[in-house]
Structure 1
């Protein structure tokens, strides 16, 4: 095969791209050492690939070309030439190479876009989490403000309820507005009720006969972080008491389960 036909066969382009078999690569290397025209053509192809690679995928061109250079510089032995069909035109090769590089560049951009979208999703998730936490803190703040207003209201009579025999360390406080009849219980000094039990609040009339009236249950004790409960309106009371009762409450107080008691 003449030198011109060999160059036009397209084998040199495949050699530069590393797409030949080992025996074919050996033959091309041998031909390049033997014919300056072939060696010059290989160099020209390398330069064209570098130019294209820099245009379409600048971040990968250096690494790819280094692999090509290593392939081109191999000191290989003589072998049999594999005849190949002549390439149609140089412009077709350039178009093929450009298409490959374009796809590589597009794939790189797609990966970058995917990573950006994932980062945006993470930021959005964190933003939603912060909104949720802010809403919770805002709610807690409003509850705290309300509870402070109860404690600071000079129209509320504060009644301290001291611990009794069953729980000497317990304590509570009642805030009773005699005008509006509204009553709040601060139960922060009570221990967590056992499962199946609930605290029940009583308004007591002491004379002429001890008369207890239930004014509410301290339900959802665990979830009430500040432990301030609004109970039923209290029209008349000489004392307040809190007992531990079965879940759902009792019609009358269980006196041996009287946790706190205090006179108005």
Structure 2
């Protein structure tokens, strides 16, 4: 964006005066948040407007009243000895001042109302976008759940329960292995939240000799509400295990941190 050209276009003045449409207001508001120098320019325009109004019609009732008294020669300096020629009061000037003050007050009230309305409109638009995002996430979750249900109910998908090991007797997990599609689903709702700097790693195992192959790490464990993860599995797995490893995973499983283990039934 050419910031100087945008500032000189006049759209910021229209924004301050409340002369833009709701859509244009929202667009200008977005630009303000992205470019601090443009936001500063808006503040300067608002400041200039206030200074102009103050210089055009300063609201000082006491000063105006004193001037009126002077014009009418009603001050304490008036005596009976010295005759004073009374000049006709220029009421048109004062009426003009009063009208200017009333007009400026009205403009400021309207300006504040328009500003508040713009903020409400922008806030409403932000809330609508957030709601739309939540709906999209909910739809994605629903689609994911439907996919998982179809997998769990497929009679050709192997179900392998993973039993707790010594490190945590309360832990449990389950594997759903679709051999045809070479996909393995891991349900880890029964595992505790890993400590900071640690992740769970899933292993496909050959038992004789023991040969582990990593299927992947559960680095999104705390973020995934379903606690069901899928991995590509092209191995001829004989068992599955889950260990707790340092962030990023390990080349081979840390057996002292083996949480669950399950053997594929022949």
Q: Identify whether the pair has TM-score above 0.5, normalized to the shorter chain.
A: yes
CA distance in 1, matches of 2:124, 2:105: 27
Give a deviation string over 1:18-77, Cα, whole Å, max 9, x none: 33698999958xxxxxxxxxxxxxxxxxxxxxxxxxxxxxxxxxxxxxxxxxxxxxxxx9
For 1:1-264, list aligned pairs within 5 A: 18-19=65-66, 27=74, 80=79, 83=84, 86-87=87-88, 92-94=90-92, 96-116=93-113, 117-153=115-151, 154=154, 155-206=156-207, 208-264=208-264
1:227 offset after TM fit, Å?
2.3
Give the 3-state SS of the residue equivalent to 2:147 in structure 1: helix
Q: Which has the larger radius of gyration?
A: 1
Give the 3-state SS of the residue equivalent to 1:19 in structure 2: helix
Give a deviation string over 1:234-257, Cα, whole Å, max 9, x none: 432222110011222222211121
CA distance in 2, matches of 1:168, 1:23: 97
Give the 3-state SS of the residue equivalent to 1:179 in structure 2: coil
With over 3 angstroms needed to count, the CA separation of the structure-2 counterparts of 1:24 and 1:109, relative to structure 1, is closer
CA distance in 2, matches of 1:144, 1:189: 22
1:130 offset after TM fit, Å?
3.3
CA distance in 2, matches of 1:83, 1:230: 102
> Which of 100-109 and 155-164 deviates more?
155-164
Other-structure match for 2:35: none
1:79 offset after TM fit, Å?
6.1
Stretches of structure 1 that go unaligned for 5 or more consecutive residues are 1-16, 29-76
Give the 3-state SS of the residue equivalent to 1:169 in structure 2: coil
How many residues are aligned here?
Answer: 196
> Which of 152-161 and 193-202 deviates more?
152-161
CA distance in 2, matches of 1:194, 1:180: 33
CA distance in 1, matches of 2:86, 2:189: 93
4+ long deviations beyond 4 Å = 20-28
- TM-score with structure 2 length normalisation? 0.62
CA distance in 2, matches of 1:83, 1:226: 95
With over 3 angstroms needed to count, the CA separation of the structure-2 counterparts of 1:189 and 1:234, relative to structure 1, is farther
1:166 offset after TM fit, Å?
0.4
1:228 offset after TM fit, Å?
2.4
